[in-house]
Amino acid sequence: MSTNFNPEWKLGTQCVHAGEGVDSDTKAIRRPIHMANSYSLPHDLGELIKSLSIEDTDHFNYTRELSPTPRFLEERLALLEGGEDCVVTASGMGAVAATLFTLLGAGDRLVASEICYTGTQKLAGFHLPRFGVLTTQVDTSDLDAVRAAVTPGTKLVFVETPGNPIVQISDIAAIANIAHDAGALLVVDATWSGLVTQKTLALGADVVIHSATKFINGHGDSLGGAVIGPKKLMTEIREYGIVHLGACASPFNAWLIMRGSVTLPLRMKQHCENGIRIAEFLESHPKVLSVRYPGLKSHPGHEVAKKQMNGYSGMLNFNLKADMMQHFEFLKRLNIITYAVSLGHDQSLIYYMPTDFFFADWGVMNDAQKAKYRAIMGEGIFRFSVGIEDAEDLIGDLSRALDAVP
């Protein structure tokens, strides 16, 4: 449907033009929002059968299956990621669930990142086993652990990199080889990469997932998810994961994400530049106990990140040489940086995660896993989504709050 796109254009140009075109009714140079939930059908039987096919993405009959505004976004994201097709969903977890429930069934073996977004971790470790999926959750930054877990009977390997909440880095190309040698598919949740800093499909993943709520939208005003990969798999996910499970995207949210994605390369450049400056500032501060940011040489995954990313995004975490309650006192003194969940917004967001609460929430971790991550997190960590404000202002805000820490 897109009328204005050249695959040789650079990323910034693609973000402006992919999926766009002149509206046929009004000649507006921006796509309108189509809020209808049903569409007039052809009276010709052959055309009707074609238009009702889930494989036909150029015709619409009911918005749960497909509608114009989400489809424009799908076209843009597929082109930006270098995939054949895309399915957008109501949320990032909608994208994860649609993918896993489509590709896995009773008796299938799944190997998944043990450290990842809590919703994904519980879906893989708690809910899928209820339906007979045999799940093994491992540290996917450890290639030996991945090799030991992936067997010839493994159907799917699911990796989140960079990984929430401790910015864990997994080697996509190496894991793709391990998965493919065993006859398994590799699915990667690359939300924290912000799409433009990591070309996940080019590194060997079969499918890439994004919570479009985050960096792709970038303005904190809508929810959405995206699954990108081969046309055949995307058709299956659209039917089983969206039509049958119902995680369809709202046209209005799709329009907001489409609008936000125009400035994605500009925003990601600023996120990356601010991220490294703030990580270096925090690492040098005497009241900071530890900092984890892939752009720092001290990060255990720095070399892998340098190899597979062209920027380190705006996500980091740190903790203080202080007890848990003093971490909350630090939060109270921040003026620019907002204490809130979510990430990838234009404004900087920070969220404190006490380790005991973290483990209680992530109930599927065993004792060995808890001990490993307690050593990393101490009593708790700040998950910091660095925004696009002026770096000097952000550093000043952090410095003033740190001055008040005993």
> Which of the two residues, 182 and 324, has the higher pLDDT score?
182
| pLDDT score of 41 more than 90 | no
Rounded Cα–Cα distance for residues 183 and 94 (Å):
26
pLDDT tens for residues 234-253? 999 999 999 999 999 999 99
In the predicted model, is pLDDT for residue 1 greater than 70?
no
Sequential DSSP letters for 343-358:
---SS-EEEEEEHHHH
- Specify the higher pLDDT residue, 39 or 260: 260
Q: What pLDDT, on the 0 to 100 scale, is given for residue 52?
A: 67
Number of separate helices (H) and strands (E) present in the chain: 16, 12
Q: Where are the beta strands (DSSP E) in 107-232?
A: 109-113, 134-138, 154-160, 185-189, 207-211, 225-229
286's tokens: 């005497």
pLDDT of residue 4: 60
Give the residue-averaged pLDDT of 153-171.
Answer: 97
Number of C-beta neighbours around residue 21 at 10 A: 17
- Residue 172: how many CB atoms within 10 A of its CB? 27
Among 191, 193, 198, smallest CA distance to 213 is for: 191
pLDDT in tens, 70-89: 999 999 999 999 999 999 99
For residue 76, CA distances in Å to 16, 18, 57, 127, 216 come to: 9, 5, 14, 32, 11
Distances (CA, A) of 202 to 83, 176, 199, 313, 322: 9, 11, 5, 18, 43
State residue 210's pLDDT score: 98
| Domains in the chain: ranges and CATH | 11-261 (3.40.640.10), 264-403 (3.90.1150.10)
- Cβ–Cβ < 8 Å for 394, 349: no
Query: What is the pLDDT of the chain when averaged over all its residues?
Result: 92
Neighbours of 246 (CB within 10 A): 12
Under the banding of pLDDT at 50, 70 and 90, the label for residue 386 is very high
CB 157 within 8 A of CB 106: no
Q: What is the reported pLDDT for 62?
A: 75
- Quick one: tokens of 84? 């054949």
Residue 193 DSSP code: G
pTM: 0.93
Is pLDDT above 60 for 343?
A: yes
- The residue written with tokens 């993918």 in the block is 99
Helix (H, G, I), strand (E, B) or coil at 95: helix
> Residues 143-149: contacts with CB within 8 Å, 24+ apart?
143/171, 143/174, 143/175, 143/178, 146/111, 146/175, 146/178, 147/178, 149/111
User: Cα separation of 346 and 336, whole Å?
Assistant: 12
Map residue 156 onto helix, strand or coil: strand
Mean pLDDT across 38-55: 76
- The set of residues, in sequence order, having a beta carbon less than 8 Å from that of 65 and lying 6+ positions away, is 54, 238, 242, 243, 248
Contact 271, 388 (CB under 8 A): yes
Contacting residues for 386 by C-beta, under 8 A, at least 6 apart = 271, 274, 275, 278, 314, 315, 316, 348, 394
